[in-house]
Structure 1
Amino acid sequence: MRFLPVFLDLRTGPVLLVGAGDLARAKLRLLAAAGARVRWYATDGDHDVSGLSTEDASRVELAHGDPLAAELSGVIAILCAGAGEVGPAMSARAKAVGVPVNVMDDLAHSTFIFPAIVDRGDVVIAVGTGGASPVVARRVRERIEAALPARIGDLANFIGRWRKTIHGRIPEFALRRRFWERVVDGPIGALVLGGRSSDAEAALKDIADPSAFAGASASGQADGRVTLVGAGPGDPDLLTIKALRALQDADVVFYDELVSPEILDRARRDAARIAVGRRVGKPGIGQDAINKLMIEAAKSGQRVVRLKGGDPFVFGRGGEEIEALREAGVAYSAVPGISAGLGAAAQFEVPLTFRHEALRITFLTAHKARDAQTVDWSTLTDEKMTVVVYMGMTAAPSVRAGLLAAGRSPQTPVGVFARVTRPDAQASVGTLDQLPDLVAKIDGGPAILIIGDVVAHSAPWRHQNLAQLASYFQVAAE
């Protein structure tokens, strides 16, 4: 993030506008909408403000003379639009005295940029691309415009009028935040968004005990709970809406080592984030300690998210954590996630089932050689069965040995799919007898092994065959 989004109160001092033509007038209208006092140096001498209302025009000072000699004391920002060569010179002057400056379409001479703006009164959303692509910013703004309720600004204004009153009745910050969340997400918020603010006012006045409404226990403490959330294999766009909502509501997030930073960024900014997972070969705090942390946090009134890679109930120990929470009397729920095996199948076009070819799927884990040795491989020799092995890179030689000894063909197609759904995802495909060599080609895990004829339908298999065919013809031609 190169540019930090901030919101300037443009009523605290004048804004200097330098420039002319339609570009300058567009900035003038934007500043007027924010209630700014504008000192406008029209570089072509044309101070036409006919497009503004009488009230907005009254806040525009029509300045004359050389803007490079203008008095800058008290000026809170300088904008140059359609200013030509005056823009860079004005930028140098602004930087010398520490005044924020924007020269339109000139990042080198700007200390701030203008985002694409969604304006809903008291709710303003800024979308920026660091100046790289205003078109992308506008497209994002359009999507937000389509999804955002028209009266969302009215709802913010409604809450603003009641904040001091509720603050006095609910001094605890966490409980007060929960009160407003229930207002926004419940019938009162719906009344405001539906244009019935007077009914919403009456409903809010009728709340006799705001603390009880917020969900406090008899002791006045908020009721805590734990939500097990599947983070998926890495791509934040694969999070469910329910998972995003849980992350935004969380007071504390206990996350696995394999959860990507991009997914953690979806959590509420002021939520505590505590790493509790481990990777192969590295010690962790242990499952009992994780259970204890979750239980203690929930019993202290916090909303806890246990963020787990993939799906909580697919080799994620979600069942053990649910049992611990149940025994402790802690409220809980679970949000499923995309398991890594399904993520690999989707990204690399591996149909885990295929009519007449693959009728069954088996998921197993074998992150150590001894895990592979405990598997009854004789049940996995059916050619119409796809075998998906989690955490199988280290145990790959034992996986191969077990399947071959049980009678699975050494020519069975196999794929090793690493860091699936992430930008650095990688695939290596071949046959079962080549499995350890395929793993050696992968630049680190986590990885999924997929074993079965369906791998021959995958994109990496097709690409590899095409490359081999092209190489054959090239050699033949030589």
Structure 2
Amino acid sequence: MRFLPVFLDLQAGPVVLVGEGELAQAKLRLLLAADARVRWFATDGQHDLSRLDAASAARVERADGDPLTADLSNVIAILCAGAGETGHAMAARARARGIPVNVMDEVAHSTFIFPAIVDRGDVVVAVGTGGASPVVARRVRERIETLLPARIGDLASFAGRWRDAIKAKLPEVAMRRLFWERVIDGPIGADVLAGRVDDAERKLTSIHDPVAFAASGGEGIVTLVGAGPGDPDLLTVKALRALQDADVVFYDDLVSPEILDRARRDAARVPVGRRVGKPGIGQDKIHRLLIEAAQSGKRAVRLKGGDPFIFGRGGEEIAALRAAGVAYAVIPGITAGLGAAAESEVPLTYRQEALRITFLTAHKAEDAGNVDWSALTDTKMTVVVYMGMTAAPTIRAGLLKAGRSPDTPVGVFARVTRPDSKAVVGKLRDLPSLADQVKPGPAILIIGDVVSRSAPWRNGNLQATPDDLISDLLMAAE
């Protein structure tokens, strides 16, 4: 390690900037973002502050004269960007005075270099490559950006406000460290990261015995996470963080192994889902498992295919958690209907053509039989059906009987966003045949004129053989 990472206190004195053009402007913006006071020697005489707001411009001193003879008293650092040979001479002067100096892209003339920076307020991450490859440093920074919560700086500020008070109550370093681990990794930290600072303050204030709290193992939390339709790259950044933090993951049967692989390696993995026609452990048992995990101090993730609140029983689960007094959070996922639409280019809405969307589930024939199909005959409505393969004949019959045209475009989209996904499109009269062509599921049915704008339709993938129209009419009359 040639360069030791350090953090300069930019309140201790002015920073001298020497240079011109966009290179100098970029360094000026960086310094002002760090709340620095800047003395700028523009080597072309042009101090353009027009792109700055009034408060930032007030912290810039437009310096005239020769920087090589200027007074450098109290200067804490010197930056040269777009300064040419003046920058080299300024670097030599800074070295002679023992002032840290950076000449942009010239390590030989610099005593410090600029890292790639991740700025989250009170949390700052610096990434350097010793000046060898700024592009590599930026790529590493981008990866870190995706891992750090947006409000991680707020969490550091929150802890900082309470630091002295907790130190007075917990003078022992080890116990104090354990206390803060319980706070940051538990529901209080989750509240701060979710923007509920008032709730976090209230919970921390209610801890009357910090020693007992620190020694208790902490309070657990359950996070309902939408796993999306199958492609692990469609997980949200927040979902990835939850999986990496989890002690235990309770997952549905539809969650792919590739998504489970994103969880922390040592996290326990508990299957709790079920498929159509196969017995499961029951929703009440799932509730008990989630509550027990949280009450034992674990960070539990309830990993659900698609989105927790779209036919995922997420509402039932948070109601059970709330009744048990268990802390919880919800991270949405891309629901399968949207995944299908995006993958096959089905615009679920389209100006003057599809103005409304209805999402419904019909994983059993009796479910489909209970649907009020008369409310779904509007030609400007797109109908998205979850778990509808088994009930495809009943869905077709219900829509035809209600008056929807047998020529209505429909599509069946199986295993969407996964490597083995399959899509077939055709007419409403052919829906059962289409469903048979993509088995096994899971699959999404999309019914409406917008299906004719999909990629499979444009590509001529009309794979179904139409049933006899008389049979359709007889079925509609049943």
- TM range, normalised to the smaller chain? 0.5 to 0.7
Contact 1:211 1:220 in 2 (8 A): no
Q: Are 1:276 and 2:243 counterparts? A: no
Equivalent in 320, 323, 334 of residue 319 of structure 2: 323
Q: Are 1:391 and 2:387 counterparts? A: yes
User: For residues 254 and 208 of structure 1, do their structure 2 counterparts lie closer, same or farther at Cα, with a shift above 3 Å needed?
Assistant: closer
2:293 aligned residue: 297
Partners of 2:331 and 2:175 lie apart in 1 by 34
Partners of 1:467 and 1:295 lie apart in 2 by 48
What does residue range 374-385 of structure 1 map to in structure 2 within 5 Å? 374-385=370-381
What does residue range 10-409 of structure 1 map to in structure 2 within 5 Å? 144-147=139-142, 186=156, 209-215=176-182, 218=213, 220-409=216-405
Cα deviation 1:57-86 (Å, max 9, x = unaligned)? xxxxxxxxxxxxxxxxxxxxxxxxxxxxxx
2:455 aligned residue: 459
2:204 aligned residue: none
- Secondary structure in 1 matching 2:321: helix
Cα offset for 1:211? 2.2
- Secondary structure in 2 matching 1:321: helix
Partners of 2:176 and 2:297 lie apart in 1 by 18
Letter in 2 for 1:350: V
- Secondary structure in 2 matching 1:338: coil
- Secondary structure in 2 matching 1:212: helix
Partners of 1:449 and 1:310 lie apart in 2 by 15
Cα offset for 1:209? 1.9
- Secondary structure in 1 matching 2:222: strand
User: For residues 142 and 412 of structure 1, do their structure 2 counterparts lie closer, same or farther at Cα, with a shift above 3 Å needed?
Assistant: farther
Letter in 2 for 1:215: R
Cα deviation 1:396-434 (Å, max 9, x = unaligned)? 000000000000000000000000011111001000000
Contact 2:425 2:463 in 1 (8 A): no
User: For residues 450 and 142 of structure 1, do their structure 2 counterparts lie closer, same or farther at Cα, with a shift above 3 Å needed?
Assistant: farther
Contact 2:425 2:462 in 1 (8 A): no
Question: Structure 1 residues 208-217 or 451-460, which shifts more?
Answer: 208-217
Letter in 2 for 1:210: R
Q: Are 1:442 and 2:409 counterparts? A: no
Cα offset for 1:443? 3.2
Letter in 2 for 1:347: E
Cα deviation 1:234-279 (Å, max 9, x = unaligned)? 0111111110000000000000000001100000000000000001
Contact 1:207 1:213 in 2 (8 A): no
- Secondary structure in 2 matching 1:427: strand
Q: CA RMSD, aligned part only?
A: 3.4
Cα deviation 1:187-212 (Å, max 9, x = unaligned)? 6999xxxxxxxxxxxxx997872222
Partners of 2:399 and 2:143 lie apart in 1 by 54
User: For residues 465 and 271 of structure 1, do their structure 2 counterparts lie closer, same or farther at Cα, with a shift above 3 Å needed?
Assistant: closer
Cα deviation 1:282-309 (Å, max 9, x = unaligned)? 1110000000000001000000000000
Partners of 1:298 and 1:265 lie apart in 2 by 22
- Secondary structure in 2 matching 1:416: strand
User: For residues 466 and 278 of structure 1, do their structure 2 counterparts lie closer, same or farther at Cα, with a shift above 3 Å needed?
Assistant: closer
The number of residue pairs the alignment matches comes to: 292
2:426 aligned residue: 430
User: For residues 336 and 465 of structure 1, do their structure 2 counterparts lie closer, same or farther at Cα, with a shift above 3 Å needed?
Assistant: closer
Structure 1: unaligned runs, 5 residues or longer: 1-122, 125-137, 151-181, 191-203, 469-478
Cα deviation 1:326-350 (Å, max 9, x = unaligned)? 0000000000000000000000000
Partners of 2:173 and 2:365 lie apart in 1 by 65
Q: TM-score with structure 1 length normalisation?
A: 0.57
Cα offset for 1:214? 1.6
- Secondary structure in 2 matching 1:356: coil
Cα offset for 1:215? 1.8
Cα offset for 1:146? 3.9
Name the % identity.
69
Contact 1:368 1:394 in 2 (8 A): yes
Partners of 1:395 and 1:383 lie apart in 2 by 22
Letter in 1 for 2:454: S
Partners of 1:319 and 1:149 lie apart in 2 by 33
Partners of 1:338 and 1:467 lie apart in 2 by 28
Contact 2:424 2:462 in 1 (8 A): no
- Secondary structure in 1 matching 2:253: coil
User: For residues 374 and 149 of structure 1, do their structure 2 counterparts lie closer, same or farther at Cα, with a shift above 3 Å needed?
Assistant: closer
Partners of 1:143 and 1:394 lie apart in 2 by 50
User: For residues 338 and 458 of structure 1, do their structure 2 counterparts lie closer, same or farther at Cα, with a shift above 3 Å needed?
Assistant: same
Cα offset for 1:145? 2.8
Cα deviation 1:203-237 (Å, max 9, x = unaligned)? x9978722221227635222100000000000111
